[in-house]
C-alpha cells in the first residue's frame, strides 16, 4: 500500500480548475513566505512564564492554600519560561529554510 | 449559568488574556505578507512543515465540544470516555495519513468536495459542497455561542459583547492571514490550551490524593467501579455509556470516527496545506500523538470534578456536567494560572471556530463560486472572494449563535446531526476510492440516499417513532444504516450505468496510480522516524497499550 502510494507524489492534476491554481502557485511562489511561528510561540510563552512566575514569587498563603499547597504559579511560570526558551532555541539552531525548489519545476 | 461561576480575575489575568488577543492578531497580519495567490490564501501555498500542520490538525478539533464536552463526559461516564480518543480518533487519523492522503494530496484537489467532482460528477460535488458549507456556518455559530456563554459565566461579560468580540478577532485573523493565519494560530492555541489545562489537572490530582486517591474516590462515587473501566461491562449495554462493545468498535470506532476524521474538510484542509506528500501523510499521524494524551487533561479533570464538586450532575443550573472544567478553575486556580486557563479556554473556542470558517471560505470559493458562478477570473479575484466569504461566514455565524442561544440543548442536536452527515460521505468515499468501477451516477445517488436515511433515522428517533437507549446509540445506528445504504445503492446502480474511464480516474482510485508524477520528497524525508507507516503503526499500538491499565 505504502509503496504504491509513494508514486503519486507531485505533478500535474487532470482538471482545468485545479491546474490553474497550481500554475498560479508555482509562478509566484518564489518569496520565502514563511515567518516562523516558533518565534511567536517562544515569545508568548516567555512572557507568560515571566508574568506567572513573578506572581508566584509574591503569592499569598491564601493563594497557595487554594492550590492545595502547591506553589503552582511558580512552577507553571518556570515550565512555561523554559518551554518558551526551548522554542526560541530550536528556531535559532534550525532556522526555516527557503522553500525548496520542486523537483517537477522546469 | 448564573453568577455562581464568576471567576475572580485580576488585572494580571486580564493582561495574560490581552497578550493572547494581540498575539493572535499579530500572527494574522504577519501571515498576510505570505499571500500572493489563492493557494496561499486557501491552502497556505502548500508550504507548511508537518509538525505545524499536525498540531493544527489536532487543534482544529480541540473546539468547544471537545474540551468542555469531554470533561463533562468524563464526569458522567467515567473512563469509558477514552473511547472517543483511543478507538474513536487515533485509528481513523492513522488511516487518513497512510491510506487516503495519497489520493487527496496526490490528485492536487483543493478540497474534499473537489475530490468528489473528479471522482464522480458535478451533482455529487454540489450536494457535498453545499451541505458542508451550511454545516460549517452552523457549527461556527455554536462554537461562538459556547464561547460567549463561558465568557459570560466566568467573566461576567454580556452575551452579545462576548459573541462580537470573539467573532471579530477570528474574522480579523482569517480575513487578513488566510489559512496560514488560522493554522499558525492553531499551533499557538494548541500550546496555550495545554498550558491552561495542565495546572487544573495537577492541582486536582493533589487534592484527591494522587491517582490512587482518585481511583478510590471514583469507586465511592455514583459511577462506582464501572467508572474505572473502558471495556469491562461492554458485553451488554449495562455500563455508564450504555454501549455494547460492537457499537463502540463499529459505530464509534469505524463509521462515526472514520467519517469525521477522513472526510471532514475542516480537518483534511490542514493536511492539504502541507509542503509535500510525505508531510501531508504525516500530518494526521503527528496529530494522533497529542490526541492519545489529551484525555489526561480532559477526562481526568472530569473525574476530579465529579469527586470534589458536591452535587455535580444537576439537570440545570451551575452544577451541570458541562461546567466541570469551569468549576474546577473557580475552586482550584489562583490568579496567574487562572488567567492562563481562561486564555486556554478562549483559545480552544477560537481554534474550533477558525477551523470551520477557513473550511467554509475555501469550499465556498473553489467549489461553489468558481465552479458554478464565475469560472475564468484571474487568481487574485478568488482571493478577494475568499475574504468576502470569510466575512459572510462570520456574520452568519453570529446570527446562528443567537439562534443557538434560543435553544437549551442545541449543541447535542447539532453534534448528533452532523456526525450522521459524515457517515454517508465516508461510505461514498471509501467505496469510490477502492472500487474503480463505481460509476458517477452511483456516487450521487449513494451519497443522497445515505444522507436521507441518516436524517430520517434521526427525525424518527426525535419524534419518538423509533426508540434507542440513548442519543449515542441513535448516532451509532443512524451512521451504520447510512453506511449500509450507501453500499447497497452503489452496488445496485453501478452495474446499470456507464463506468468512468481509467484515464479519468488516474490518481484518484486505488490501483490506478499516476505514473507521470514526480517525486516531491525533501532531504530527510526518508529517515525512518519520518515514515508515515511506522509512525502510524506506533500510534495505534500505543492506543491499544493505553487501554491495558483501564481495561
pLDDT tens digits along B506-545: 888 887 776 666 667 777 777 888 888 899 999 999 988 9
Q: What is the DSSP string of B395-454?
A: HHHHHHHHHHHT-SSHHHHHHHHHHHHHHHHHHHHHHHHH-TT--HHHHHHHHHHHHHHH
pLDDT for the residue A32: 42
The 10s digit of each residue's pLDDT in B319-359 is 888 888 888 998 898 989 999 999 998 888 888 888 889 99
> A8 pLDDT exceeds 50?
no
Host H or E run for residue B21:
helix B11-32
pLDDT at B413: 63
Query: Pick from B36, B101, B110: which is nearest to A28 by CB?
Result: B36
Partner residues linked to B48 by β-bridges: B274
| Nearest-Cα residue of chain A relative to residue B526 | A6
Q: Are A97 and A5 in contact (CB under 8 A)?
A: no
| Residue A1's pLDDT band (cuts 50, 70, 90) | very low
CB B120 within 8 Å of CB B499 = no
pLDDT at A7: 38
Q: Percentage of chain B with pLDDT > 90?
A: 30
Per-chain mean pLDDT for chain B: 86
Inform me whether the C-beta atom of residue A7 falls under 8 Å from chain B C-beta atoms.
yes
**How does pLDDT run across B258-291, given as a tens digit for each residue?**
888 998 888 999 999 998 889 999 999 999 999 9
Report the range of poorest mean pLDDT among A25-29, B231-235, B272-276.
A25-29
Identify which of B40, B98, B118 has the shortest CB distance to residue A2: B98
B window 37-66, beta carbon within 8 A of A: 37-40, 45-48, 52
The residues in A 17-76 lying below 8 A from B, measured between CB atoms, are 17-18, 20-22, 24-25, 27-29, 31, 33-35, 37, 40-41, 43-45, 47-48, 51-52, 55-56, 59, 63-64, 66-70, 72-73, 76
Q: Which residues of B touch A2 (CB under 8 A)?
A: 98, 532-533
In whole angstroms, give the CA distance from residue B540 to residue B268.
20
A43 contacts in B (CB within 8 Å)? 23
All residues of chain A having their beta carbon less than 8 Å from the beta carbon of residue B46 are: 25
For residue B274, list its beta bridge partners: B48
Q: How far apart are CA B260 and CA A67, in angstroms?
A: 38
pLDDT computed for residue B323 by the predictor: 84
Tell me the mean pLDDT in the region B487-498. 92
Chain B residue with minimum CA distance to A5: B102
Q: If pLDDT is split at 50, 70 and 90, which confidence band does B412 have?
A: low
Measuring CA to CA, which residue among B394, B369, B386, B517 is closest to residue B37? B386
- Of all residues in chain B, what percent carry a pLDDT higher than 70? 95
C-alpha distances out from residue B476 to B165, B227, B449, Å: 37, 22, 18
CA-nearest of B549, B543, B450 to B83 is B543
Look at phi and psi of residue B156 and say left if phi exceeds 0, alpha if psi is from -120 to 50, else beta.
left
**What are the beta bridge partners of residue B236?**
none
Grid cell of B51 as nine digits: 509538525
Q: DSSP alpha helices (H): ranges in A10-60? A: 16-28, 37-57
Which residue in A has a C-alpha nearest to residue B8's C-alpha? A63
Asked if the Cβ–Cβ distance from A11 to B518 is below 8 Å, we say yes
Is the pLDDT at A70 greater than 80? The verdict is yes
Q: How many CB atoms lie within 10 A of CB B310?
A: 6
Least confident of A31-35, B296-300, B414-418: A31-35
Tell whether the model's pLDDT for residue B411 goes beyond 70.
no
Residue B398: pLDDT band (50, 70, 90) is: confident
What pLDDT score does B486 carry? 94
CA distance A33 to B35: 8
Q: DSSP readout, B246-302? A: HIIIIIIIIIIHHHHHHH-HHHHHHHHTBSSHHHHHHHHHHHHHHHHHTHHHHHHHH
Question: For residue range B146-187, what is the model confidence (pLDDT) as tens digits?
Answer: 888 778 878 888 888 888 888 888 888 888 888 888 888 899
- Dig out the grid coordinates for B281 from the structure: 501523510
In angstroms, the CA B178 to CA B345 distance is: 23
Note the pLDDT of residue A101: 47
pLDDT tier for residue A51 given thresholds of 50, 70 and 90: very high
- The verdict on a CB contact (< 8 Å) between A63 and B334 is yes
Question: Is B513 strand, coil or helix?
Answer: coil
A51–B333 C-beta distance less than 8 A: no
Question: What pLDDT is recorded for position B20?
Answer: 92
Q: Is the CB of A73 less than 8 angstroms away from the CB of B336?
A: yes
A11-20, B191-200, B218-227, B371-380, range with the lowest pLDDT:
A11-20
Q: What is the pLDDT of residue A98?
A: 52
Q: Per the CB < 8 Å rule, is A10 touching B516? A: no
User: Exposed/middle/buried for B154, CB within 10 Å: 0-12, 13-18, 19+?
Assistant: buried
Under 8 Å between Cβ of B439 and B497: yes
Interchain CB distance below 8 Å, B47 and A99:
yes
- Rounded to the nearest angstrom, the minimum Cα separation between A89 and chain B is 17
Q: Is the pLDDT of residue B218 over 70?
A: yes
Task: Give Cα separations from B261 to B227, B396, B508 (angstroms).
Answer: 27, 25, 19
pLDDT for B125 equals: 92
Provide the pLDDT confidence category of residue B69 given band limits of 50, 70 and 90: confident
A103 has pLDDT over 60: no
Of A48-52, B104-108, B439-443, the range with the lowest mean pLDDT is B104-108
Average per-residue pLDDT for chain A: 73
Q: Which among B37, B108, B203 is the nearest to A67, CB-wise? A: B203
Contact between chains at B31 and A35 (C-beta distance less than 8 A): yes
pLDDT value, residue B136: 87
Which chain A residue is nearest to residue B38, measuring alpha carbons?
A21
Q: What is the pLDDT of residue B407?
A: 63
CB contact under 8 A, A76 and B513: no
Taking the Cβ of residue B202 and every Cβ of chain A, the question of whether any pair is shorter than 8 Å is answered with yes
Is the full-model pTM beyond 0.80?
yes
On chain A, the residues whose CB falls within 8 A of the CB of B519 are 6, 9-10, 103
Query: Rounded mean pLDDT of B371-400?
Result: 88
Structural contact between residues B206 and B200, judged by C-beta atoms closer than 8 angstroms = no
Q: What is the mean pLDDT of residues B480-496?
A: 92
Residue range B384-408: average pLDDT?
A: 83
Rounded Cα distance between B505 and B498, Å, is 14
ipTM of the prediction = 0.86
Spatial separation of the C-alpha atoms in residues B191 and A49, rounded to whole Å: 13
Amino acid at each position: 500500500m505504502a509503496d504504491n502510494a509513494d508514486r503519486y507524489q507531485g505533478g500535474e492534476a487532470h482538471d482545468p480548475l485545479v491546474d490553474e491554481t497550481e500554475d498560479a502557485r508555482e509562478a509566484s511562489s518564489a518569496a520565502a513566505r514563511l515567518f516562523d511561528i516558533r518565534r511567536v510561540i517562544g515569545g508568548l510563552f516567555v512572557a507568560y512564564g515571566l508574568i506567572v512566575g513573578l506572581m508566584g514569587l509574591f503569592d499569598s498563603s491564601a493563594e497557595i492554600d487554594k492550590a492545595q499547597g502547591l506553589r503552582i504559579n511558580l512552577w507553571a511560570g518556570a515550565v512555561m519560561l523554559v518551554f518558551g526558551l526551548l522554542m526560541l532555541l530550536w528556531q535559532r539552531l534550525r532556522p526555516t529554510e527557503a522553500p525548496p525548489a520542486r523537483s517537477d519545476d522546469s | 449559568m448564573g453568577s455562581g461561576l464568576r471567576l475572580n480575575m485580576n488585572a494580571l489575568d486580564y493582561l495574560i488574556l490581552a497578550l493572547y488577543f494581540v498575539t493572535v492578531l499579530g500572527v494574522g497580519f504577519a501571515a498576510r505578507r505570505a499571500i500572493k495567490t489563492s493557494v496561499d490564501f486557501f491552502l497556505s501555498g502548500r508550504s507548511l512543515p508537518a509538525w505545524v500542520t499536525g498540531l493544527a490538525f489536532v487543534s482544529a478539533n480541540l473546539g468547544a465540544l471537545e474540551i468542555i464536552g469531554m470533561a463533562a463526559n468524563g464526569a458522567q461516564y467515567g473512563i469509558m470516555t477514552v473511547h472517543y480518543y483511543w478507538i474513536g480518533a487515533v485509528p481513523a487519523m492513522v488511516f487518513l495519513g497512510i491510506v487516503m492522503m495519497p489520493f487527496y494530496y496526490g490528485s492536487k484537489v483543493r478540497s474534499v468536495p473537489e475530490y468528489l467532482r473528479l471522482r464522480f460528477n458535478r451533482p455529487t460535488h454540489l450536494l457535498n459542497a453545499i451541505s458542508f458549507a451550511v454545516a460549517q456556518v452552523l457549527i461556527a455559530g455554536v462554537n461562538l455561542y459556547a464561547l460567549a456563554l463561558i465568557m459570560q459565566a466566568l467573566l461576567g461579560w454580556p452575551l452579545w459583547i462576548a459573541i462580537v468580540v470573539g467573532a471579530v478577532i477570528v474574522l480579523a485573523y482569517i480575513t487578513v492571514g488566510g489559512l496560514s493565519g488560522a493554522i499558525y494560530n492553531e499551533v499557538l492555541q494548541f500550546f496555550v490550551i495545554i498550558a491552561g489545562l495542565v495546572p487544573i489537572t495537577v492541582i486536582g490530582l493533589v487534592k484527591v490524593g494522587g491517582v490512587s486517591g482518585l481511583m478510590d474516590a471514583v469507586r465511592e462515587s455514583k459511577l462506582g467501579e464501572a467508572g474505572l473501566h473502558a471495556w469491562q461491562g461492554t458485553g451488554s449495554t449495562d455500563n455508564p455509556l450504555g454501549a455494547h462493545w460492537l457499537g463502540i468498535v463499529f459505530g464509534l470506532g469505524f463509521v462515526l470516527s472514520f467519517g469525521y476524521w477522513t472526510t471532514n474538510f475542516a480537518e483534511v484542509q490542514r493536511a492539504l496545506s502541507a509542503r509535500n506528500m510525505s508531510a501531508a501523510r504525516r500530518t494526521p499521524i503527528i496529530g494522533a500523538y497529542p490526541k492519545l494524551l489529551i484525555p489526561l487533561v480532559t477526562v481526568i479533570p472530569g473525574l476530579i470534578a465529579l469527586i470534589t464538586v458536591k452535587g455535580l450532575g444537576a439537570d440545570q443550573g451551575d452544577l451541570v456536567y458541562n461546567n466541570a472544567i469551569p468549576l474546577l478553575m473557580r475552586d482550584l486556580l489562583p490568579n496567574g494560572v487562572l488567567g492562563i486557563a481562561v486564555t486556554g479556554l478562549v483559545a480552544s473556542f477560537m481554534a474550533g471556530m477558525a477551523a470551520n470558517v477557513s473550511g467554509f471560505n475555501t469550499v465556498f470559493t473553489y467549489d461553489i463560486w468558481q465552479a458554478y458562478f464565475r469560472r475564468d477570473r484571474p487568481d487574485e479575484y478568488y482571493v478577494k472572494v475568499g475574504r468576502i466569504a470569510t466575512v459572510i461566514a462570520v456574520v452568519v455565524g453570529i446570527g446562528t449563535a443567537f439562534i443557538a442561544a434560543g435553544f437549551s440543548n442545541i449543541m447535542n442536536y447539532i453534534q448528533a446531526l452532523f456526525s450522521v452527515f459524515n457517515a454517508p460521505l465516508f461510505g461514498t468515499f471509501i467505496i469510490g476510492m477502492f472500487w474503480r468501477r463505481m460509476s458517477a451516477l452511483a456516487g450521487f445517488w449513494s451519497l443522497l440516499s445515505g444522507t436521507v436515511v441518516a436524517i430520517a433515522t434521526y427525525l424518527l428517533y426525535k419524534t419518538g417513532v423509533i426508540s434507542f437507549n440513548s442519543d449515542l446509540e441513535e448516532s451509532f445506528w443512524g451512521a451504520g444504516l447510512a453506511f449500509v445504504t450507501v453500499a447497497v445503492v452503489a452496488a445496485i446502480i453501478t452495474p446499470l450505468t456507464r463506468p468512468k474511464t481509467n484515464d479519468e480516474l488516474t490518481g484518484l482510485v486505488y490501483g490506478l496510480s499516476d505514473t507521470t508524477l514526480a517525486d516531491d520528497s525533501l532531504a530527510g524525508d526518508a529517515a525512518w522516524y519520518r515514515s508515515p507507516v511506522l509512525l502510524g503503526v506506533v500510534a495505534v499500538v500505543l492506543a491499544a497499550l493505553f487501554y491495558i491499565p483501564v481495561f
